[in-house]
Structure 1
Amino acid sequence: MAPTIHLIRHAQGVHNLSFENESIHDPDLTELGLSHGDAHVAAVSHGGFLHFLTDDWHGIPTGSATGWANCQFRSYQFVDPTGQDDEAELVETAESWRRRQGDQIPPTRTELREMRAVVQEDVIPYLYIKK
């Protein structure tokens, strides 16, 4: 069975308080952290990055860089559980979607790809992209 990836937007940190603080880096994993290979993996990150990781562009409010609330978690699995997909495409689990959207029907992969082009234009000005 393919692992379930639980993605969590971290709570507000000092680096979120000002543009100048964005140079403060998140800590690296320890050797033990790097060696874990469990059926459930949790990763804490910035909400804006998680949209790029999951290719899920649903629910980003106008004027915001992310649709993830502070400390919100969502669970994803690989579309191809055999690991043969070079893109390692992720899809949100039905349980995770229901937890945050109730009975609303989730967008299809095609709809998410269509959202990406529109939403990325709106989101890019809010993201700091190192050149």
Structure 2
Amino acid sequence: MAPVIHLVRHAQGYHNLNHENQWIRDPDLTELGEEQCKELCKNFPYHDKITHLFASPIRRTIFTCQFSFAPAVKGGKKIVALQDTQEVSLYPCDVGSDVEPLKKEFGDLVDFTLLTDDWNKKTPDSKYYPDSQKLEARARDARLWLRDFLKDVSDDAHIILVTHGGILHFITEDWSGVNPGRGTGWVNTEYRSYEFADKTGQDPNASLAELPESLNRRRGSEIPLTDAEKREMRSAYESVLSGELKICLDRIAEQQLMASSSADGV
């Protein structure tokens, strides 16, 4: 066996309730979101095999990891925050909190040592700006980091990475099921299981391959997409990203104009 990587989308946050809530900065989980975590915790079959916990540094993913994989957390495993797995958009809900407030809130539960002080800055010159080429590059960086990390992990290990619906499409290079209405084909607390496609560790892209049991769990007898259909899904997803980016930039510009006008009037 090779180590198994379970990729998990976070539970429902307040930003998932309506479009306006996407302007809430780094929001909490809803009560339903916490219940979703409890349900995942109850149904996840590999708690006793988990060796490492990783999460995007955004609060809802950390909480999802903490609640959904409570046996591992209570057993002393820290959640390691990986900044390359943060969500894609410029909406405030997808812009994480600064490092020091995160450390104060989560204490010893989470290891933030891999975070840089500017991890949550999404300016156009940043690797975290929501440009499709940059998203593809940092998703590859995340896979390469995980592959390098797993060199020293036992073959029967099970790794958890809790992250977001948008970046998950880039990490998995799978755009199937993309829903323009919610921007992702992943539902809250859905998990899918993977290993690295190239067992030699030489693939420069470090692509992942979804395990058959994971595919069966979510697709059943559904016929897989053709390569052409996959390209169409990616194109549709990138159109969604482009539209969301324009909305964000327009509103940010409007807010800046209003702030400037207010200051001039004082």
Q: TM-score, normalised by structure 1?
A: 0.76
Is the CA contact 2:178–2:233 (under 8 Å) kept in the aligned structure 1? no
**1:75: Cα distance to partner?**
0.8
**1:50: Cα distance to partner?**
0.4
Match of 2:29 in 1: none
Match of 1:122 in 2: 240
Is the CA contact 1:15–1:24 (under 8 Å) kept in the aligned structure 2? no
State the SS of the aligned residue for 2:243.
helix
Q: Please tell me the residue identity of whatever aligns with 2:23.
A: F
1:126–1:68 CA distance, 2 compared to 1 (3 A): farther
Is the CA contact 1:64–1:126 (under 8 Å) kept in the aligned structure 2? no
Match of 1:73 in 2: 191
Mind listing any 5+ residue stretches in structure 2 that lack a counterpart?
26-92, 104-109, 113-148, 250-266
Match of 1:9 in 2: 9
Q: Higher strand share goes to which structure? A: 1
Mind listing any 5+ residue stretches in structure 1 that lack a counterpart?
none
1:10–1:3 CA distance, 2 compared to 1 (3 A): same
Q: What is the Cα-based RMSD across aligned positions, in Å?
A: 3.0
**1:89: Cα distance to partner?**
0.5
1:53 paired with 2:171, answer: yes
Q: Higher helix share goes to which structure? A: 2
State the Cα deviation string for residues 67-122 of structure 1 (Å, max 9, x = none).
Answer: 11111101112110111111111121111111011111223556434532233213
Q: TM-score, normalised by structure 2?
A: 0.41
Larger radius of gyration: 2
Is the CA contact 2:8–2:162 (under 8 Å) kept in the aligned structure 1? yes
Identical positions, percent: 45
Residue in structure 2 matching 1:18, options 2, 16, 22 = 22
**1:55: Cα distance to partner?**
0.8
Structure number with higher relative contact order (C-alpha < 8 Å, ≥ 6 residues apart): 1
Q: After alignment, is 111-120 or 64-73 more displaced?
A: 111-120
How many matched pairs?
Answer: 126
The separation in 1 between residues aligned to 2:234 and 2:201, in whole angstroms, is 24
Match of 1:106 in 2: 224
Is the CA contact 2:178–2:185 (under 8 Å) kept in the aligned structure 1? yes
The separation in 2 between residues aligned to 1:92 and 1:126, in whole angstroms, is 29
State the Cα deviation string for residues 37-92 of structure 1 (Å, max 9, x = none).
Answer: 35221100011110011111001123221111111101112110111111111121
